[in-house]
Structure 1
Amino acid sequence: MLRSLSVLLLLSSAALADTADGEALKAMTWDQIEAEARGGTVNWFMWGGSDMINAYVSGYVADRLKAEYDITLNRVPITDAAEIVNLILSEKEAGITDAGSVDLIWINGENFRSMKQGGLAFCGHTDLLPNNALVDWDNPAIANDFGVPVDGCEVPWNTVQFAFAHDSAVVPAPPADMAALLDWIRANPGRFTYPAPPDFTGSAFLRHVFIHAAGGPDDLLGPFDPATFETVSARTWEILNEIEPFLWRGGQTYPTSITQLNELFANGEVDFSFNYDPAQFGLAVQAGSWPETTRSFGLASGTIGNTNYTLIPFNAPNKAAAMVVQNLLLSGEAQLEKAKTEVWGAAPAIEIARTSAEVQAGFAAIKGHPSVVPAAELAKAALPELQADWLIALEKGWAEKVGN
């Protein structure tokens, strides 16, 4: 992966750079920014594990950018955004302030916190995007990313909520809540596992167990509290170590990624997979990887929901073109296209009521995939994301107390 990245980084150094720096861009009108962006190239580093998402970005998005703005979109597939954060940090330490390798990144909250604290994000530009008017910034789940205020440093792309998938022909009645799931694991040795943190999805499963051990999220909201963490994490490690012998391969090894867990489910080696984006379940069925009897569900005890974003690094060489990409991604038309079940099925990050009548009609006409639990059903029991300090402590503790 790093070898392929090095080739792409060489390509990015030859990309057409904007002549205006970030502060100059923020003083421009949108028409001037679009003019500045024309002919540019945007290197967008993003998770590349879904053929359908890749097709949407390299097809619909890239085609529109080229036709309407003469912008070339170079999708750079990655497996771990943390590696790209470290790349940008190393560039900053090397004094590369306006000719970096990355123009845009699809990012999660933990990595956003690192980029914001490290001064690695291009901030203060989101109000310039015309389609920013479609975003409800009064919604705390939008305005805060894993508890960290966005502050104009990133742009929402999708909203998601964690869900589980199962084959209804194999497990017709899945567990209703976390306590029942833990009982099911003990009663069905070898048929469940989860990716080892810090895998993003495996870490999310860990947080669900942590919230269960706390008796709910109330004591975990707000800034990190060491005393609370010590008490609740001790219960968490006890639960996870107790079920470990009942996991796939007796808990002697864990999948290293959500991709590997999905393969285990596809091969019938385990009975459950899970994802922050339930639309992935429908895409897997459409691709023929998963059985048509796949169904998905939340938990009565709740599942975590959040928003994911795109971010322009502080040293992106093509900031104007990257801003045009962000604005296009926010548009009602682009959000509608990826919401179609045959394209992606992603939940929008904008307020549908603020879009055109044509776009609203398009959303109303979408029929959900039978394998994908409706977002409205999941939302009835939504859990808030914890602030990033809790995540870091949990992942470190898991490695020491469980993963060892």
Structure 2
Amino acid sequence: MRVIFFLSLFLALTAGCSEAPTEESVLRQDYASLENLARGTEVRWHMWGGSAQINQWVDTYVAGEMKRLFDINVVRVPMDAPVFVNKLLTEKVAGKDTGTMDLLWINGENFKNSMQAGVLFGPFTDRLPNFTAWYDPQKSAHDFGFPVNGFEAPYGRAQFVFEYDTERTPTPPATLAELADWIRANPGRFTYPQPPDFTGSAFLRQIFYATTGGHEQYMDGFNPDLYAKNAPLTFAWLSELGPYLWQEGRTYPKDAAALDTLFARGEIDMAMSYHPAHAQMKILEKTYPDTAKTFVLAEGAIFNTHFTAIPFNAPNKAGAMVLANFLMSPEAQLSKFKPENWGDLPALEIGKLDEAQRQAFDAVDLGAATLGADALSAVAVPEIASEYLELLERDWDTIILGH
């Protein structure tokens, strides 16, 4: 998640040109014309590739439906968001008006950096019929506190949960203090992915909220003085527990998939995910034991919306818009919601669906491992501004990894 060098280079060379460019020839067309323009084309979707289940859903269901409905070939390109953002920044500086990326799965500080550098296409979401039909614009108006302004299309929601095995841990911790006590009492049985892995970074933000008095104080934008005052509390908590972690805190799993493997093999007794149905999905694929469950802490569980965006130099903007629109459809949202496919929470408004559609969502069996909507909503807290996230990851590298 280090794009500072490239962002600085771009800003220096473009001297204040920070608005993302638009392409009137595409945005001026009605949606039916866009579909016709996109037929028979290829859409290259650059996205995080760290989940085999998500990859399979894209490669089978999404690719299959896009081909069947629109004769569009979807090519999934695994690439971490900071990498493709840096690629866009360098292409912008070099004047490369036609790139190789059509659609991006992008969030948080990567979206903010991209918007400030003017490397995204739009605004386009108001041109997508599924967005106007099924979504609440206010619920997707910000991404990590930064205004979206139509340059991102929502396609899923997530919330942070912990995972445990009732055979090994009959009663999980209920609060942060109980979690700390459990870690001390069970040395070597807990760890978390190394930030900037998305799940590891989410855990870090969870601890930041919980050790500094809650999320409310951070909701008015970035305050460097507040961070300077509060961050030492978070890193003191993490540092004190370091020796009790897996490998005595000398090393950390490289990503969420590595953490899943440790938990599945029984090397640790707790895992975590930003997808509430993740444990159930792992049970269905016979990776986790049937006794796996999820829990949240009383101090809160962060939730967010994830989005797609289109690069300024996407060669197939029409196809990208058709794919973004399909991902927001009730059919795609329902498929994605099922734990056997992904278990990702729907981003659309269930109340806007007709009765048959609502019943289809209500009928989805999230499994015994998944917490109910009431339990999740009771502890839901919003994401932090991206400036806090960047500083937390930077200081984690220095204080925790570099100790």
- 1:22–1:319 contact (8 Å) kept in structure 2: no
Q: Is 1:207 paired with 2:205?
A: yes
TM-score of the superposed pair, with normalisation by structure 1: 0.91
* Aligned-residue offset at 1:138: 2.2
Aligned to 1:194, what secondary structure does the other structure show? coil
Map residues 118-157 of structure 1 onto 2, 5 A cutoff. Answer: 118-133=117-132, 134-139=134-139, 142-157=140-155
The equivalent of 2:290 in structure 1 is 292
Structure 1 residue runs without a partner (length 5+):
1-20
Aligned to 1:138, what secondary structure does the other structure show? helix
- 1:161–1:375 contact (8 Å) kept in structure 2: no
% identical aligned pairs: 44
Deviation readout 1:368-400 (Å, 9 max, x if unpaired): 211122233111111111100011111111111
Q: 1:375/1:87 Cα in 2 relative to 1: closer, same or farther (>3 Å)? A: farther
The equivalent of 1:223 in structure 2 is 221
- 1:222–1:386 contact (8 Å) kept in structure 2: no
Greater mean deviation of Cα atoms: 389-398 or 221-230? 221-230
The runs of at least 4 consecutive aligned structure 1 residues that moved more than 3 Å come to none
- 2:189–2:267 contact (8 Å) kept in structure 1: yes
- 2:277–2:366 contact (8 Å) kept in structure 1: no
The equivalent of 2:334 in structure 1 is 336
Map residues 40-59 of structure 1 onto 2, 5 A cutoff. Answer: 40-59=41-60
**Distance in 1 of aligned mates of 2:285 and 2:234:** 36
- 1:88–1:102 contact (8 Å) kept in structure 2: no
Q: Which one of the candidate residues 369, 382, 385 is aligned to 1:384?
A: 382
- 1:332–1:356 contact (8 Å) kept in structure 2: no
Q: Is 1:66 paired with 2:67?
A: yes
Q: Which one of the candidate residues 353, 358, 361 is aligned to 2:359?
A: 361
**Distance in 2 of aligned mates of 1:287 and 1:392:** 35
Q: Is 1:174 paired with 2:172?
A: yes
- 2:108–2:144 contact (8 Å) kept in structure 1: yes
* Aligned-residue offset at 1:358: 2.6
The code of the aligned residue for 2:347 comes to: A
**Distance in 1 of aligned mates of 2:94 and 2:280:** 44
The code of the aligned residue for 1:224 comes to: F
* Aligned-residue offset at 1:290: 1.1
The code of the aligned residue for 1:116 comes to: M
Q: Is 1:351 paired with 2:352?
A: no
**Distance in 2 of aligned mates of 1:240 and 1:339:** 34
**Distance in 2 of aligned mates of 1:364 and 1:67:** 27
**Distance in 2 of aligned mates of 1:26 and 1:378:** 38
Greater mean deviation of Cα atoms: 335-344 or 229-238? 335-344
Q: Is 1:83 paired with 2:98?
A: no
- 1:124–1:151 contact (8 Å) kept in structure 2: yes
Greater mean deviation of Cα atoms: 166-175 or 232-241? 232-241
Aligned to 1:348, what secondary structure does the other structure show? coil
The equivalent of 2:4 in structure 1 is none
The equivalent of 1:322 in structure 2 is 320
Deviation readout 1:179-200 (Å, 9 max, x if unpaired): 2111211111111111121111
Deviation readout 1:319-377 (Å, 9 max, x if unpaired): 00010001111111111111123222221100122123332221121122111222331
Q: 1:356/1:56 Cα in 2 relative to 1: closer, same or farther (>3 Å)? A: farther
**Distance in 2 of aligned mates of 1:378 and 1:55:** 27
Map residues 256-335 of structure 1 onto 2, 5 A cutoff. Answer: 256-335=254-333
The equivalent of 1:235 in structure 2 is 233
**Distance in 2 of aligned mates of 1:143 and 1:313:** 19
**Distance in 1 of aligned mates of 2:29 and 2:264:** 51
Aligned to 2:280, what secondary structure does the other structure show? helix
* Aligned-residue offset at 1:88: 1.5
* Aligned-residue offset at 1:49: 2.6
Deviation readout 1:196-247 (Å, 9 max, x if unpaired): 2111111111111111221111222222212211111111111111101111
Deviation readout 1:20-60 (Å, 9 max, x if unpaired): x8221111111111111111110001222333322221122
**Distance in 2 of aligned mates of 1:110 and 1:282:** 30
The code of the aligned residue for 1:81 comes to: A
Q: How many residues are treated as equivalent by the alignment?
A: 380
- 1:88–1:313 contact (8 Å) kept in structure 2: yes
* Aligned-residue offset at 1:103: 0.6
- 1:45–1:104 contact (8 Å) kept in structure 2: yes
* Aligned-residue offset at 1:310: 0.8
**Distance in 2 of aligned mates of 1:354 and 1:249:** 49
**Distance in 2 of aligned mates of 1:403 and 1:136:** 41
Aligned to 1:347, what secondary structure does the other structure show? coil
Aligned to 1:159, what secondary structure does the other structure show? strand
- 2:278–2:339 contact (8 Å) kept in structure 1: no
**Distance in 2 of aligned mates of 1:376 and 1:179:** 23
- 2:275–2:343 contact (8 Å) kept in structure 1: no
**Distance in 1 of aligned mates of 2:321 and 2:231:** 41
- 1:332–1:352 contact (8 Å) kept in structure 2: no
**Distance in 1 of aligned mates of 2:396 and 2:363:** 44
**Distance in 1 of aligned mates of 2:274 and 2:74:** 26
